[in-house]
């Protein structure tokens, strides 16, 4: 008898698990948008994983500096950082070396040497960050999505000044020559065209963040769809993860209907 019941239960439970469609997914809160958990080796070595706050770093540095000059991958866990790398001055260690920013061990004038591990290895711990998100955001122009900060306006207004050069690591580059904006036509009829601004992107990314890996340099060489973007490819490599999310349709689809 019990066996019958078990089978009946199983039969009834299967559809409930399979059909979880047609619902809205939860979006991250403003303070969590862009945060990345880095756990290549941490937990395996008995250390808490790293919670990397994108908002705090993008308020000071260009995307290009970390993702090109320092060689950070565009996907969490893709960089394969080790503590030895950091200590050798690579990746996080390029700045977190007690010169540009705090290192693993700081020399406090009163308390002597203090380990700083928990400032980054903070996942699952109640660590109060030195830089408070809400306090920072109150100084910034507001925007409706992502961190709730209009990063481009913040930059235009001089409220953030982005460092794009690290001595000893970056190379001196020529003044950036602006390529022209261009239009992308949607395959869907009556969908407004996209106007892509190279100028807007180049301030943060240079050329190398996107070309030639994410986008080939030859125009039209690689057609891509909105589904690809939703799946995290092409524009979706940054937008939805760190840059403003894909839900802001009208920010890209700005042109009139063709």
Which residues lie near another protein (CB under 8 A)?
Answer: 3-4, 7-8, 10-12, 15, 19, 21-27, 29-30, 134, 137-138, 142-145, 148, 189-192, 226-227, 230, 246-250, 253, 257
- Contact status, residue 62 vs residue 204, Cβ threshold 8 Å: yes
* CB of 182 vs another protein, minimal distance in Å: 21
* CB of 249 vs another protein, minimal distance in Å: 5
Taking the least distance from each CB to another protein, the nearer of 27 and 173 is 27
Nearest to 177 by CA among 194, 202, 158: 202
* CB of 64 vs another protein, minimal distance in Å: 28
Taking the least distance from each CB to another protein, the nearer of 2 and 110 is 2
**What distances in angstroms separate CA 218 from CA 206, 211, 215, 245, 247, one per listed residue?**
17, 10, 9, 26, 28
* CB of 31 vs another protein, minimal distance in Å: 9
Taking the least distance from each CB to another protein, the nearer of 3 and 218 is 3
Q: Give the angle 59-62-63 at the CA atoms, nearest 5°.
A: 105
Taking the least distance from each CB to another protein, the nearer of 103 and 245 is 245
Taking the least distance from each CB to another protein, the nearer of 98 and 131 is 131
Taking the least distance from each CB to another protein, the nearer of 29 and 178 is 29
Alpha helices by DSSP H, listed for the chain, are 2-18, 54-58, 63-64, 83-87, 117-120, 133-138, 151-156, 198-205, 226-230, 249-252
- Contact status, residue 192 vs residue 182, Cβ threshold 8 Å: no
DSSP bridge pairs for 37 = 51
* CB of 142 vs another protein, minimal distance in Å: 7
**For the chain, percent helix, then strand, then coil, each to nearest 5?**
30, 10, 60
Taking the least distance from each CB to another protein, the nearer of 12 and 111 is 12
Query: The tokens 């992308």 sit on which residue?
Result: 184
* CB of 7 vs another protein, minimal distance in Å: 3
What are the residues whose beta carbons fall under 8 Å from the beta carbon of 239, sequence distance 6 or more?
229, 245, 246
Query: CB-hemisphere CA count at 13 Å for 153?
Result: 10
* CB of 170 vs another protein, minimal distance in Å: 36
């Amino acid at each position: 008898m019990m066996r019958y019941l078990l089978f009946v239960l199983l039969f009834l439970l299967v559809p409930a698990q399979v059909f979880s469609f047609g619902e809205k997914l939860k979006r991250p809160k403003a303070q969590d948008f862009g945060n990345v958990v880095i756990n290549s080796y941490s937990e395996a070595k008995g250390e808490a994983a790293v919670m990397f706050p994108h908002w705090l770093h993008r308020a000071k540095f260009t995307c290009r500096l970390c993702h090109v000059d320092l060689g950070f991958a565009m996907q969490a866990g893709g960089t394969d950082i080790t503590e030895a790398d950091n200590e050798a001055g690579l990746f996080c260690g390029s700045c977190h070396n007690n010169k540009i920013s705090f290192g693993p061990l700081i020399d406090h004038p009163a308390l002597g040497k203090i380990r700083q591990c928990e400032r980054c290895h903070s996942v699952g711990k109640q660590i109060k960050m030195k830089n408070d998100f809400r306090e920072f955001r109150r100084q910034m122009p507001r925007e409706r999505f992502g961190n709730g900060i209009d990063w481009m306006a913040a930059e235009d207004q001089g409220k953030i000044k982005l460092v794009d050069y690290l001595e000893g690591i970056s190379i001196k580059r020529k003044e950036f020559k602006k390529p022209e904006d261009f239009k992308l036509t949607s395959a869907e009829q009556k969908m407004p065209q996209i106007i892509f601004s190279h100028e807007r992107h180049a301030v943060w990314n240079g050329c190398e963040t996107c070309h030639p890996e994410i986008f080939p340099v030859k125009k039209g060489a690689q057609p891509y769809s909105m589904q690809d973007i939703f799946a995290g490819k092409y524009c979706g490599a940054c937008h939805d993860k760190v840059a403003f999310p894909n839900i802001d349709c009208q920010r890209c689809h700005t042109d009139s209907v063709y």
